[in-house]
Amino acid sequence: GTLGLFLALLAADLPRGSEILIPAFTFYASASAAVFAGLKPVFIDADPHTFNLDTSLLESLVTERTRAIMPVHVYGHCAPLDEIGEFARRHDLFVLEDAAQAYGVTYKDRHAGTWGDLGVISFFSDKTITTGEGGVVLTNDTALFNRLRLLRNQGRPHSGTFVHES
């Protein structure tokens, strides 16, 4: 999941030093992936009733450097994705869902990880579905998909070749 978040943020191609809104109540990987990608996490307090990010605080945290938001679905409960999506559209923000703990979870009849520009699900040993390690990055954007294919394979479109497009 951590590597999936990192690759997703690299694929987003956000300017270095950009701010990304991240819940303060999450696993360390959410923020560390942002730092690894050259972004500055700006933490959002949790809603005490849901433990997800408190959407009432979002407007107060946006600056001219804010480029993304990373809702994290905790304890198998989705963050309020319709509110987050509307907020992101108003501010032209990239949305990366950290759905590491939300495999199979739906919000308003849509699966977690499919609302944002990209979504990441983890298959680590303590997740609902496990392969011991690993994860998946979800998108319906062809350009993001193609960038991810190159990033996951050291800039090569195909294994077994030494031609690195990027």
How does pLDDT run across 133-147, given as a tens digit for each residue?
667 889 999 999 899
Total-model pTM: 0.90
What residue has token string 């990366």? 96
Name which of 24-33, 55-64, 152-161 the model is least confident about. 152-161
- Give the amino acid at 69: I
Q: Residue 164 — pLDDT band, cuts 50, 70, 90? A: confident
Residue 135 dihedral angles phi and psi, to the nearest 5°: -170, 180
DSSP, res 11: H
